[in-house]
Chain A
C-alpha cells in the first residue's frame, strides 16, 4: 500500500525560481539611485517623490506591475516569481510603490472596466503619469462600510457627488480617486452603492492632509461639494459597487502577509541588538534578549509556511486553501510584535523622534516605523472584522 519512496512534499523553490531570485537581488542595488540605497538600508523613510522615481525605474525595466497580465503591461510572471519579487523588494527595503493604482483600481479595471476605461487609465498607472487614491471610509462609516453616505445624484449623462471621504491616504499626491458612492437610497444598503472614478482636479473637490501617528502626512480628508462626474466613470454597473469592492479585496492574500517587511524588521532587529549593549556585551549575545528575538523568528517561520502553502496552490492554478484567510491576521500582528521588540531593544534610545544627526542613524528608524505599523491591524479590514469573516465563512459558526 504505501510509499516506496522518500520523495514527498517539496518545500523549496525550483532552481529556476532561485536563479530568478538572484537576478532580482542583484538588480535592485544597481538600479536604485545612490541616495535611496542609504535610506533603504536605514530608516526607510522614503518620500512620495522617491516612490515615484522608483516606480519609473521599475516601469522602464517592465517590472512595475507583477500582477498584471502581459497583454496590459505585466511581466507575465507566475505566482512564485511574483512572490519572490515582492519578497526581494521588501527585503531590500526598496521604496513602497503606491498600491492604489497598481494593486487596486488597475486590476479592477482590467477585470471589469470597459475597453475605453482600460485604454484611458491603465497606461498612465503603469507609467506613473497618474497616481490614485482610495475613497472608501467616511467619518461615520469605518468597519460598517456599507453605511456610507456620500451621494451621487443622477443628472442625465453625469452624477453630482456630495459628501466626505476620510483616510484617503496620499490624496494630496494623487490625480484620481476611486470611490464608493450611494446611488440608491431606497434599497438594502449594499445594493445602492456604485464604484466611481473621480478626477481630483474637478471643481468642488477639496483635499485636506492629516498627520499620522508617525508624523508622516499620509492621511487626508477629501470633500466633495456638487462635483460633476461623467457616467462613463462607473466601473461595473450602477449599483454594483459592493460587488466591485469585494472583487477588489480578493487580490492575492500572500501580499497582505507582510513576509518581506517581517524579514526586513527581523534583520534590522538583529542588527540593532548586535550594536546595543547590555552588561557590557552585545544584546544579541545576551541569552534573554536573544531568546526573545528567536521566539518571534520561530513564529515568523510558521507564518511563512502558511504563505508558502497559499503560494503553492496558486502555482498549481488553484484557489488558496482556507488557511490563507489567517495571513493578514497573523502577519500584521507579527510585524507589530517585531517593531515593539525593536523599541524595547532600543531602551531609552527609543525616545528619539526625528533627530537626524544627533543619534546614530540606526536609532532614527524605529519610532516612526513602529508608529506606522500600528495601522497594519486596522487597514484592509480591521483584524476584528477579519475574525468576523473567518468565523462566518470558514468556521461556519452560527449567527444569532
Chain B
C-alpha cells in the first residue's frame, strides 16, 4: 500500500503548482472572466507544448501514456488559482471520450491537434430533460445517404462556446451514438451561457446538421457505455479539482483567522472558530483521501469497485467539500461575500463542481444500487 506520488508525479505536481502561482494567479482568472472566450488560446497552446494536454492519451496519438492519476494532479493544482483554461472540458470530457470511442484515423485528425494545443474539444451530452442520465437522449441522428442528419439541442456544454470540435450524443436507429461535429458546421448554432463560477458554456442547437459516416465514433448504440465511463472520469476529475479548491479555501481561512483582529485579539483564538476550522480540516482530508481512491480506481475496469469509490468521493465533495466552502465564507465575515475577495470565487467553483457529473442524490443512489451493497447484508 502506497499513497505517495512517484518521482515523476511529484515533479509534475510541483511544475503545475508553480505554473499556477507564477503564470496564472487568480487575477488572471478575474481579468478573463468578462472576456468573450473566458480564457487565453495562447495559454492553451502553451499547456499543449508543456505536454499536459496529452497526459492520459497513448503515445501513438502524441500523448504521454499516463494514467488518470497524472490528470488528477494537473486538475488539482490548476484549481488552486482557478486557472481558466478548459482542461476538464477538453481533455477529460471531449478528449477521453474521443480516445475511447474513436478509431485511429479519428484520433489522428481530431485528438492529436488538441493534444498539441492547436484546437480544443467539448462534449455535448447533456439535454434539458436528462439530469445526469447519459442515456436520456432526444437529439436524433437520422440516416441520410451514407451519413446522418443530426437535430436537437444540448445544454451546458462546457467549452461549447469555443471548442473546434463537438463530441455529440444522438439517437441513431441502433441506439445512442457518438458523433464528432465541427462547431462551425452548417446548422449548428451556439448561444453562450455564463455560469455561476465565472466561466462559459454553450447551449447548442443542431438543425439537420449533415455529417458523414466517418464522423461516427464507434458503432451505433455504443454511446451510452462510453459516456458512462466518461462520467466516471469526469466525476473523479471534479473531485480532484475539489481537493485543490477545498485545501486552498482552508488555507485562506486559517490565514485569515490568524490575521483578523476583533475585541483586541486574533479571531483565530476564539474556540468556536478554532473548532470550526478543525472540522474544515477534517472534511478536507477526508476529501483528499477518498479522492486518491477515486483517481486510482478511475482506470480500473472493475465497474463495481470503480463506481463505488468514485461515487463515495463525489459524495464527499457534495457534503464535506461544500461544507468547507460554506464555512470558509462564513469565517471570512462580510469581506467573504464581496466580489472583491477571492474566497467567493472558490466558493462558486465548488458549487459548480458539485452540480456537474452527478449530485449527491445521484451518487448515493448509484452506490446503494450496486449489488455488492446489499450482498454485505447476507
Least CB distance from A154 to B in Å reads 39
- Closest A residue by C-beta to B360: A295
Cα–Cα distance between A315 and B270 once the two chains are bound (Å): 38
Q: A6 contacts B299, CB within 8 Å?
A: yes
Type the 1/0 row for A371-400, where 1 means its CB is closer than 8 Å to any CB of B.
000000000000010111011001111111
Q: A398 contacts B258, CB within 8 Å?
A: yes
Q: A3 contacts B9, CB within 8 Å?
A: yes
B274 within 8 A of A: yes
- Closest A residue by C-beta to B365: A291
B21 within 8 A of A: no
Number of A-B contacts (CB under 8 A): 198
Q: B266 contacts A1, CB within 8 Å?
A: no
A35 within 8 A of B: no
Least CB distance from B73 to A in Å reads 9
Q: A326 contacts B281, CB within 8 Å?
A: yes
Type the 1/0 row for A1-12, where 1 means its CB is closer than 8 Å to any CB of B.
111111111111
B309 within 8 A of A: yes
Q: Which of A37-45, A164-172, A188-196, A269-277 contacts B (4 or more CB under 8 A)?
A: A269-277
Least CB distance from A346 to B in Å reads 15
Type the 1/0 row for A323-352, where 1 means its CB is closer than 8 Å to any CB of B.
100100110000000000000000000000
A298 within 8 A of B: yes
Which A237-276 residues have C-beta < 8 A from chain B? Answer: 266-267, 270-271, 273-274
Q: B315 contacts A271, CB within 8 Å?
A: no
B193 within 8 A of A: no
B312 within 8 A of A: yes
A3, A301, A394: the one within 8 Å of B281 (CB): A394
Q: A302 contacts B287, CB within 8 Å?
A: yes
A110 within 8 A of B: no
A125 within 8 A of B: no
Q: B268 contacts A397, CB within 8 Å?
A: yes
Cα–Cα distance between A13 and B290 once the two chains are bound (Å): 17
Size band of the B side of the interface? 35 or more
B146 within 8 A of A: no
B88 within 8 A of A: no
Least CB distance from A140 to B in Å reads 21
Cα–Cα distance between A302 and B368 once the two chains are bound (Å): 16
- Closest A residue by C-beta to B265: A400
A122 within 8 A of B: no
On chain B, the residues within 8 Å of A400 by CB distance are: 265-266, 269-270
Least CB distance from B306 to A in Å reads 13
B192 within 8 A of A: no
Q: Which of B23-31, B59-67, B106-114, B179-187 contacts A (4 or more CB under 8 A)?
A: B59-67
B11 within 8 A of A: yes
Q: A290 contacts B3, CB within 8 Å?
A: no
Q: B8 contacts A302, CB within 8 Å?
A: no
B5, B269, B279, B289: the one within 8 Å of A305 (CB): B289
Cα–Cα distance between A289 and B311 once the two chains are bound (Å): 18
On chain A, the residues within 8 Å of B278 by CB distance are: 326, 329, 386-387, 390-391, 394-395
A207 within 8 A of B: no
Query: Do most interface residues of chain B lie in helix, strand or loop, or is the interface mixed?
Result: helix
A359 within 8 A of B: no
Q: B274 contacts A294, CB within 8 Å?
A: no
- Closest B residue by C-beta to A315: B1
Type the 1/0 row for A50-71, where 1 means its CB is closer than 8 Å to any CB of B.
0000000000000000000000
On chain B, the residues within 8 Å of A274 by CB distance are: 374, 377-378
On chain A, the residues within 8 Å of B373 by CB distance are: 290, 294, 297
Given A8-B9, A329-B282, decide whether A298 and B367 contact each other with a Cβ distance below 8 A: yes
On chain A, the residues within 8 Å of B67 by CB distance are: 3, 5-8
B207 within 8 A of A: no
Given A390-B278, A391-B277, decide whether A9 and B69 contact each other with a Cβ distance below 8 A: yes
Given A8-B69, A301-B309, A305-B289, decide whether A395 and B277 contact each other with a Cβ distance below 8 A: yes
Q: B292 contacts A9, CB within 8 Å?
A: yes
Q: A312 contacts B2, CB within 8 Å?
A: yes
A2, A287, A330: the one within 8 Å of B64 (CB): A2
B275 within 8 A of A: yes
Cα–Cα distance between A13 and B2 once the two chains are bound (Å): 9
A181 within 8 A of B: no
Q: B1 contacts A8, CB within 8 Å?
A: no
Which B332-378 residues have C-beta < 8 A from chain A? Answer: 361, 363-365, 367-368, 373-374, 376-378
- Closest B residue by C-beta to A291: B364
- Closest A residue by C-beta to B2: A10
Cα–Cα distance between A326 and B288 once the two chains are bound (Å): 13
Cα–Cα distance between A190 and B296 once the two chains are bound (Å): 47
- Closest A residue by C-beta to B12: A2
Given A1-B15, A8-B67, A387-B278, decide whether A397 and B269 contact each other with a Cβ distance below 8 A: yes
On chain B, the residues within 8 Å of A298 by CB distance are: 311-312, 315-316, 363-364, 367
A299 within 8 A of B: yes
Q: B289 contacts A397, CB within 8 Å?
A: no
On chain A, the residues within 8 Å of B11 by CB distance are: 1-2
Which A284-331 residues have C-beta < 8 A from chain B? Answer: 284-285, 287, 290-291, 293-295, 297-299, 301-303, 305-306, 308-309, 311-312, 315-316, 323, 326, 329-330
B285 within 8 A of A: yes
A24 within 8 A of B: no
Cα–Cα distance between A400 and B274 once the two chains are bound (Å): 11
Q: List 30 A-B contacts (CB under 8 A).
A: A1-B50, A2-B55, A2-B66, A3-B6, A3-B64, A4-B8, A4-B64, A7-B67, A8-B5, A8-B67, A9-B4, A9-B296, A10-B1, A11-B1, A270-B374, A270-B376, A284-B377, A297-B367, A298-B312, A298-B364, A301-B290, A301-B308, A302-B316, A303-B286, A309-B292, A312-B1, A312-B3, A391-B277, A397-B274, A398-B268
Interface residues of B (CB under 8 A from A): 1-6, 8-9, 11-12, 15, 50-51, 55, 64-67, 69-70, 254, 257-258, 265-266, 268-271, 274-275, 277-279, 281-282, 285-290, 292-293, 295-296, 299, 308-309, 311-313, 315-316, 319-320, 361, 363-365, 367-368, 373-374, 376-378
Interface residues of A (CB under 8 A from B): 1-14, 80, 266-267, 270-271, 273-274, 284-285, 287, 290-291, 293-295, 297-299, 301-303, 305-306, 308-309, 311-312, 315-316, 323, 326, 329-330, 384, 386-388, 390-391, 394-400
